[in-house]
Protein backbone atom coordinates (compact mmCIF):
# COMPACT_ATOMS: atom_id res chain seq x y z
CA UNK A 1 0.00 0.00 0.00
CA UNK A 2 2.80 2.40 0.93
CA UNK A 3 4.53 1.62 -2.39
CA UNK A 4 1.30 2.32 -4.25
CA UNK A 5 0.90 5.68 -2.56
CA UNK A 6 4.53 6.53 -3.23
CA UNK A 7 4.07 5.65 -6.90
CA UNK A 8 0.99 7.85 -7.07
CA UNK A 9 2.86 10.66 -5.42
CA UNK A 10 5.67 10.40 -7.94
CA UNK A 11 3.14 10.24 -10.77
CA UNK A 12 1.17 13.25 -9.67
CA UNK A 13 4.19 15.25 -8.67
CA UNK A 14 5.49 15.94 -5.19
CA UNK A 15 4.01 18.92 -3.36
CA UNK A 16 5.94 20.75 -0.66
CA UNK A 17 3.56 20.87 2.37
CA UNK A 18 5.29 24.07 3.47
CA UNK A 19 4.76 25.84 0.14
CA UNK A 20 1.78 28.18 -0.43
CA UNK A 21 -1.12 26.41 -2.11
CA UNK A 22 -1.92 29.55 -4.11
CA UNK A 23 0.99 31.99 -3.78
CA UNK A 24 -0.05 35.64 -3.47
CA UNK A 25 -3.72 34.95 -2.69
CA UNK A 26 -3.69 36.57 0.74
CA UNK A 27 -7.39 37.46 0.97
CA UNK A 28 -8.69 36.08 4.28
CA UNK A 29 -11.98 34.18 4.36
CA UNK A 30 -13.87 32.00 6.80
CA UNK A 31 -13.72 28.23 6.44
CA UNK A 32 -16.13 26.14 8.50
CA UNK A 33 -15.40 22.65 9.80
CA UNK A 34 -18.71 20.90 10.54
CA UNK A 35 -19.09 18.86 13.72
CA UNK A 36 -17.97 15.27 13.29
CA UNK A 37 -15.64 16.06 10.38
CA UNK A 38 -12.34 14.28 9.84
CA UNK A 39 -9.33 15.87 8.21
CA UNK A 40 -9.41 13.31 5.40
CA UNK A 41 -13.10 13.82 4.82
CA UNK A 42 -12.55 17.53 4.30
CA UNK A 43 -10.47 16.84 1.18
CA UNK A 44 -13.08 17.70 -1.49
CA UNK A 45 -14.10 20.99 0.10
CA UNK A 46 -10.47 21.84 0.86
CA UNK A 47 -9.68 21.53 -2.84
CA UNK A 48 -12.77 23.46 -3.93
CA UNK A 49 -11.88 26.29 -1.53
CA UNK A 50 -8.27 26.40 -2.77
CA UNK A 51 -6.74 25.19 0.49
CA UNK A 52 -5.24 22.00 -0.94
CA UNK A 53 -3.81 21.27 -4.42
CA UNK A 54 -5.77 18.01 -4.82
CA UNK A 55 -7.59 15.44 -2.69
CA UNK A 56 -4.78 12.93 -3.22
CA UNK A 57 -2.06 15.34 -2.21
CA UNK A 58 -4.05 16.38 0.88
CA UNK A 59 -4.41 12.72 1.89
CA UNK A 60 -0.72 12.06 1.25
CA UNK A 61 0.13 15.06 3.41
CA UNK A 62 -2.08 13.80 6.24
CA UNK A 63 -0.30 10.44 6.32
CA UNK A 64 2.67 12.13 7.94
CA UNK A 65 0.63 14.37 10.28
CA UNK A 66 -1.41 13.94 13.45
CA UNK A 67 -4.72 15.50 12.43
CA UNK A 68 -6.62 14.31 15.52
CA UNK A 69 -6.40 17.90 16.80
CA UNK A 70 -8.93 19.07 14.18
CA UNK A 71 -11.69 21.20 15.72
CA UNK A 72 -15.20 21.97 14.58
CA UNK A 73 -15.98 25.64 14.06
CA UNK A 74 -15.20 28.64 11.88
CA UNK A 75 -11.61 29.58 11.05
CA UNK A 76 -10.01 32.47 9.20
CA UNK A 77 -7.74 31.12 6.44
CA UNK A 78 -6.00 32.31 3.26
CA UNK A 79 -5.29 30.41 0.06
CA UNK A 80 -1.67 31.52 0.28
CA UNK A 81 -1.25 29.27 3.31
CA UNK A 82 0.67 26.01 3.07
CA UNK A 83 -1.04 22.76 3.98
CA UNK A 84 0.90 22.75 7.24
CA UNK A 85 -0.41 26.24 8.04
CA UNK A 86 -3.98 25.28 7.12
CA UNK A 87 -3.92 22.23 9.37
CA UNK A 88 -2.38 24.23 12.23
CA UNK A 89 -5.16 26.81 11.86
CA UNK A 90 -7.89 24.16 11.86
CA UNK A 91 -6.35 22.72 15.03
CA UNK A 92 -6.33 26.10 16.73
CA UNK A 93 -9.06 28.13 18.42
CA UNK A 94 -12.15 28.65 16.22
CA UNK A 95 -13.46 32.13 15.57
CA UNK A 96 -15.98 33.30 18.08
CA UNK A 97 -19.50 33.64 16.73
CA UNK A 98 -20.53 35.87 19.62
CA UNK A 99 -22.55 39.01 18.94
CA UNK A 100 -23.58 41.77 21.37
CA UNK A 101 -27.05 41.74 22.92
CA UNK A 102 -28.05 44.72 25.06
CA UNK A 103 -30.52 44.41 27.90
CA UNK A 104 -31.70 47.99 28.37
CA UNK A 105 -31.91 49.50 31.87
CA UNK A 106 -35.37 48.98 33.32
CA UNK A 107 -36.50 46.38 30.79
CA UNK A 108 -38.97 43.83 32.07
CA UNK A 109 -38.74 40.08 31.53
CA UNK A 110 -41.31 40.41 28.75
CA UNK A 111 -39.24 43.13 27.04
CA UNK A 112 -36.12 40.94 27.02
CA UNK A 113 -38.15 38.02 25.68
CA UNK A 114 -39.56 40.18 22.88
CA UNK A 115 -36.09 41.43 21.89
CA UNK A 116 -34.69 37.89 21.78
CA UNK A 117 -37.68 36.72 19.75
CA UNK A 118 -37.19 39.56 17.27
CA UNK A 119 -33.58 38.38 16.79
CA UNK A 120 -34.89 34.93 15.92
CA UNK A 121 -32.87 33.35 18.74
CA UNK A 122 -35.77 31.95 20.79
CA UNK A 123 -39.37 30.92 20.44
CA UNK A 124 -41.61 33.65 21.83
CA UNK A 125 -42.17 33.17 25.55
CA UNK A 126 -39.34 30.71 26.22
CA UNK A 127 -37.07 33.22 28.01
CA UNK A 128 -40.09 34.58 29.89
CA UNK A 129 -41.13 31.10 31.03
CA UNK A 130 -37.68 30.35 32.46
CA UNK A 131 -37.34 33.73 34.18
CA UNK A 132 -40.81 33.73 35.68
CA UNK A 133 -40.51 30.16 36.96
CA UNK A 134 -36.93 30.66 38.22
CA UNK A 135 -36.11 27.61 36.12
CA UNK A 136 -32.31 27.99 36.16
CA UNK A 137 -29.48 27.44 38.64
CA UNK A 138 -29.58 30.38 41.06
CA UNK A 139 -26.24 31.73 42.36
CA UNK A 140 -28.02 33.26 45.38
CA UNK A 141 -31.39 32.94 47.07
CA UNK A 142 -34.27 34.79 45.41
CA UNK A 143 -37.44 35.01 47.51
CA UNK A 144 -39.36 36.86 44.81
CA UNK A 145 -41.82 34.64 42.90
CA UNK A 146 -39.99 35.51 39.66
CA UNK A 147 -36.54 36.72 38.63
CA UNK A 148 -37.84 40.16 37.72
CA UNK A 149 -35.37 42.71 39.02
CA UNK A 150 -32.38 40.34 39.19
CA UNK A 151 -31.66 40.05 35.44
CA UNK A 152 -28.94 42.64 35.31
CA UNK A 153 -29.15 45.08 32.35
CA UNK A 154 -25.90 44.99 30.40
CA UNK A 155 -24.51 44.27 26.94
CA UNK A 156 -23.73 40.56 26.77
CA UNK A 157 -21.72 38.69 24.15
CA UNK A 158 -23.93 35.78 23.10
CA UNK A 159 -23.79 33.09 20.46
CA UNK A 160 -26.28 33.84 17.71
CA UNK A 161 -25.77 30.35 16.28
CA UNK A 162 -26.40 28.42 19.50
CA UNK A 163 -28.20 30.87 21.75
CA UNK A 164 -29.33 29.61 25.16
CA UNK A 165 -31.94 31.55 27.14
CA UNK A 166 -30.98 29.58 30.23
CA UNK A 167 -27.34 30.54 29.84
CA UNK A 168 -28.19 34.24 29.38
CA UNK A 169 -30.36 34.27 32.50
CA UNK A 170 -27.61 32.59 34.53
CA UNK A 171 -25.09 35.17 33.29
CA UNK A 172 -27.47 38.03 34.18
CA UNK A 173 -27.89 36.66 37.70
CA UNK A 174 -24.14 36.25 38.08
CA UNK A 175 -23.60 39.82 36.86
CA UNK A 176 -26.16 41.07 39.42
CA UNK A 177 -24.26 39.18 42.10
CA UNK A 178 -20.86 40.52 41.05
CA UNK A 179 -21.95 44.12 40.41
CA UNK A 180 -24.11 44.58 43.51
CA UNK A 181 -24.74 41.72 45.89
CA UNK A 182 -21.16 40.64 46.58
CA UNK A 183 -20.24 44.20 47.55
CA UNK A 184 -23.35 45.10 49.55
CA UNK A 185 -24.49 41.77 51.04
CA UNK A 186 -23.88 42.91 54.63
CA UNK A 187 -25.89 46.11 54.22
CA UNK A 188 -28.69 44.27 52.44
CA UNK A 189 -29.02 41.60 55.12
CA UNK A 190 -28.92 44.11 57.99
CA UNK A 191 -31.41 46.39 56.27
CA UNK A 192 -34.69 45.79 54.50
CA UNK A 193 -33.65 42.59 52.75
CA UNK A 194 -32.82 41.86 49.14
CA UNK A 195 -36.37 41.54 47.79
CA UNK A 196 -37.48 44.95 49.13
CA UNK A 197 -34.28 46.64 47.95
CA UNK A 198 -34.69 45.25 44.42
CA UNK A 199 -38.39 46.16 44.17
CA UNK A 200 -37.69 49.75 45.26
CA UNK A 201 -34.72 49.99 42.88
CA UNK A 202 -36.88 48.90 39.95
CA UNK A 203 -39.28 51.75 40.66
CA UNK A 204 -36.42 54.25 40.94
CA UNK A 205 -35.09 53.12 37.56
CA UNK A 206 -38.41 54.05 35.96
CA UNK A 207 -39.34 57.01 38.14
CA UNK A 208 -36.15 59.10 38.16
CA UNK A 209 -34.10 59.56 34.97
CA UNK A 210 -31.16 61.16 36.81
CA UNK A 211 -29.08 58.71 38.88
CA UNK A 212 -27.95 61.58 41.13
CA UNK A 213 -31.57 62.22 42.18
CA UNK A 214 -32.45 58.61 42.90
CA UNK A 215 -31.26 58.55 46.54
CA UNK A 216 -33.53 61.53 47.29
CA UNK A 217 -36.53 59.88 45.61
CA UNK A 218 -35.71 56.64 47.45
CA UNK A 219 -35.78 58.54 50.74
CA UNK A 220 -39.25 59.91 49.96
CA UNK A 221 -40.64 56.53 48.93
CA UNK A 222 -39.18 54.63 51.89
CA UNK A 223 -40.69 57.22 54.26
CA UNK A 224 -44.06 56.55 52.64
CA UNK A 225 -43.63 52.80 53.07
CA UNK A 226 -42.66 53.22 56.71
CA UNK A 227 -45.56 55.59 57.41
CA UNK A 228 -48.02 53.21 55.76
CA UNK A 229 -48.89 55.60 52.93
CA UNK A 230 -49.61 54.68 49.35
CA UNK A 231 -46.49 55.09 47.23
CA UNK A 232 -48.32 56.69 44.30
CA UNK A 233 -45.75 55.42 41.76
CA UNK A 234 -47.68 55.34 38.48
CA UNK A 235 -45.00 53.27 36.74
CA UNK A 236 -46.14 50.24 38.74
CA UNK A 237 -49.54 50.34 37.00
CA UNK A 238 -47.79 49.93 33.67
CA UNK A 239 -45.90 46.81 34.69
CA UNK A 240 -48.23 44.15 33.27
CA UNK A 241 -49.05 46.04 30.06
CA UNK A 242 -47.84 44.38 26.85
CA UNK A 243 -46.90 47.88 25.65
CA UNK A 244 -45.45 50.09 28.37
CA UNK A 245 -46.76 53.32 26.79
CA UNK A 246 -50.32 52.09 26.15
CA UNK A 247 -52.05 55.04 27.80
CA UNK A 248 -55.61 53.69 27.60
CA UNK A 249 -54.64 50.42 29.28
CA UNK A 250 -52.57 52.32 31.84
CA UNK A 251 -55.55 54.49 32.80
CA UNK A 252 -57.71 51.38 33.18
CA UNK A 253 -55.17 49.95 35.61
CA UNK A 254 -55.10 53.22 37.57
CA UNK A 255 -58.88 53.05 38.00
CA UNK A 256 -58.72 49.43 39.15
CA UNK A 257 -58.34 49.72 42.92
CA UNK A 258 -57.74 45.96 43.24
CA UNK A 259 -54.94 45.77 40.69
CA UNK A 260 -51.95 44.31 42.62
CA UNK A 261 -49.54 46.86 41.15
CA UNK A 262 -51.74 49.94 41.69
CA UNK A 263 -49.69 51.87 44.23
CA UNK A 264 -52.09 54.82 44.16
CA UNK A 265 -54.59 52.69 46.06
CA UNK A 266 -52.68 49.81 47.68
CA UNK A 267 -50.17 50.43 50.45
CA UNK A 268 -46.64 49.08 50.58
CA UNK A 269 -44.40 47.74 47.87
CA UNK A 270 -45.77 45.99 44.77
CA UNK A 271 -45.47 42.17 44.71
CA UNK A 272 -42.38 42.09 42.47
CA UNK A 273 -39.93 44.41 40.83
CA UNK A 274 -41.32 46.21 37.77
CA UNK A 275 -38.15 45.86 35.70
CA UNK A 276 -34.45 45.21 36.01
CA UNK A 277 -32.50 48.04 37.66
CA UNK A 278 -28.89 49.18 37.44
CA UNK A 279 -26.39 49.47 40.29
CA UNK A 280 -27.15 53.20 40.68
CA UNK A 281 -30.79 52.43 41.46
CA UNK A 282 -29.92 49.48 43.70
CA UNK A 283 -27.48 51.60 45.69
CA UNK A 284 -30.00 54.44 45.93
CA UNK A 285 -32.58 52.00 47.26
CA UNK A 286 -30.05 50.68 49.78
CA UNK A 287 -28.75 54.12 50.81
CA UNK A 288 -31.62 56.65 50.54
CA UNK A 289 -31.04 60.31 51.26
CA UNK A 290 -33.03 61.64 54.26
CA UNK A 291 -34.94 64.84 53.56
CA UNK A 292 -37.91 66.94 54.62
CA UNK A 293 -39.80 65.97 51.48
CA UNK A 294 -42.83 63.67 51.19
CA UNK A 295 -43.89 64.29 47.59
CA UNK A 296 -42.25 64.83 44.21
CA UNK A 297 -43.11 65.31 40.54
CA UNK A 298 -41.31 65.86 37.24
CA UNK A 299 -41.98 68.71 34.85
CA UNK A 300 -42.23 68.34 31.05
CA UNK A 301 -38.42 68.39 30.80
CA UNK A 302 -38.06 65.59 33.35
CA UNK A 303 -36.72 67.89 36.09
CA UNK A 304 -37.44 66.69 39.63
CA UNK A 305 -39.47 68.97 41.96
CA UNK A 306 -39.84 67.65 45.53
CA UNK A 307 -42.25 69.15 48.05
CA UNK A 308 -42.75 68.98 51.82
CA UNK A 309 -46.52 68.62 51.98
CA UNK A 310 -49.68 68.22 49.97
CA UNK A 311 -50.27 71.92 49.53
CA UNK A 312 -46.81 72.48 48.05
CA UNK A 313 -47.27 69.43 45.85
CA UNK A 314 -50.62 70.66 44.52
CA UNK A 315 -49.10 74.08 43.80
CA UNK A 316 -46.34 72.43 41.78
CA UNK A 317 -48.92 70.35 39.91
CA UNK A 318 -50.70 73.52 38.85
CA UNK A 319 -47.47 75.30 38.00
CA UNK A 320 -46.12 72.52 35.76
CA UNK A 321 -49.52 71.17 34.63
CA UNK A 322 -48.83 67.69 35.96
CA UNK A 323 -51.78 65.55 37.07
Task: Return the biggest CA–CA distance within the chain.
Answer: 103
Spatial neighbors of 160 by CB under 8 A, at least 6 apart, are 97, 98, 99, 119, 121
pLDDT digits over 194-247, tens only? Answer: 999 999 999 999 999 999 999 999 999 999 999 999 999 999 999 999 999 999
pLDDT digits over 170-187, tens only? Answer: 999 999 999 999 999 999
Q: Which residues pair with 77 in a beta bridge?
A: 29
Mean pLDDT confidence for 264-282: 97
pLDDT digits over 92-146, tens only? Answer: 998 888 899 999 999 999 999 999 999 999 999 999 999 999 999 999 999 999 9
Alpha helix locations (H) across 33-108?
43-48, 55-63, 83-90
pLDDT at res. 14:
63
pLDDT band at 293 (very low <50, low <70, confident <90, very high): very high
Domain-wise residue ranges, the chain: 2-90, 101-291
Q: Name the CATH topology of 2-90.
A: Dna Ligase; domain 1 (3.30.1490)
- Residue predicted with more confidence, 2 or 294: 294
Measured from the Cβ of residue 1, the count of other Cβ atoms closer than 10 Å reads: 5
3-state DSSP of 244-295: CCCHHHHHHHHHCCCCCCCCCCCECCCCCCCCCCCHHHHHHHHCCCCCCCCE
Q: Give the Cα separation of 121 and 140 in Å (integer).
A: 27
Amino acid sequence: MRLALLALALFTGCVDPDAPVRPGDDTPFVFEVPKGSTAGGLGPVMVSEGLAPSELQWKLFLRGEDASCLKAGRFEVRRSMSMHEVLATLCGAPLSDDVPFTVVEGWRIRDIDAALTAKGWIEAGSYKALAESKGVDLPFAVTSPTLEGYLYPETYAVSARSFSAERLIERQLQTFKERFLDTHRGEVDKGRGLHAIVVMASMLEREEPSPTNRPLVAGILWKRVDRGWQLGVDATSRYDLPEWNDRAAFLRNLRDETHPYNTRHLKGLPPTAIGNPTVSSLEASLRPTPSEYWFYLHDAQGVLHPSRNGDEHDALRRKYDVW
